Amino acid sequence: MKKKLHLHIGSHKTGTSSIQVALVNHKEKLKENGISFFNKTPKGNIILNGNAGFWINRSIDQYDNLINGNGFTVHKAKKLANELNKTSCNTVVMSAEAFSWIFGGDHISELKLALAQYFDVNIILYIRRQDQLVISHVQQGSKNINPAFNFYSCSGEALPKYKSYYDDYLDFNKKTLLWESAFGKENITIRIMDKRLLYKSDVVLDFFNIIAPGLTVDSIRVNESHGFEKTKVGHLINKSGVDKFFGNKIRLNLSNGKKALPSRLDAQQFYARYVKSNIELNKRYHLSHSDNDIFNNDFSNYGENRTDLWDEDSANQAIINVITSLDKIPVKAFLLFRLKIFIKQILRKSM
Q: What is the domain partition of the chain in residue ranges?
A: 3-211, 243-256+311-351
| Coil, helix or strand at residue 162 | coil
Greatest alpha-carbon span in the chain:
66
Question: What residues have CB less than 8 Å from 323, skipping those under 6 apart?
Answer: none
Q: From CA 281, how far away is CA 177, in angstroms rounded?
A: 9
In the chain, the amino acid numbered 8 is: H
314, burial (CB in 10 Å: exposed 0-12, middle 13-18, buried 19+): middle
A 10 A CB-CB count for 261 gives: 20
What are the start-end ranges of the E strands in 168-254?
188-192
The segments of the chain whose pLDDT lies below 50 read 351
Structure letter (DSSP) for residue 258: S
Q: From CA 46, how far away is CA 43, in angstroms rounded?
A: 9
| Bridge partner list, 121 | 5
Task: Give me the pLDDT at residue 14, please.
Answer: 97
pLDDT, one tens digit per residue, over 271-310 is: 999 999 999 999 999 998 677 889 999 999 999 999 999 9
Task: Give me the pLDDT at residue 141, please.
Answer: 92
Letter string b/e over residues 189-205, b meaning 16 or more CB atoms within 10 A of that residue's CB: bbbbbbeeebeeebbbb
Task: Give me the pLDDT at residue 251, please.
Answer: 93
Task: Give me the pLDDT at residue 246, please.
Answer: 83
pTM of the model: 0.92
Task: Give me the pLDDT at residue 99, please.
Answer: 98
What is the fold of 3-211? Rossmann fold (3.40.50)
A 10 A CB-CB count for 184 gives: 12
Q: From CA 184, how far away is CA 199, in angstroms rounded?
A: 25
Letter string b/e over residues 73-105, b meaning 16 or more CB atoms within 10 A of that residue's CB: bbbebeebbebbeebebebbbbbbbbbbbbbbe
Q: From CA 281, how far away is CA 293, in angstroms rounded?
A: 9
Q: Classify strands 56-57 and 73-74 as parallel, antiparallel or unpaired.
A: antiparallel
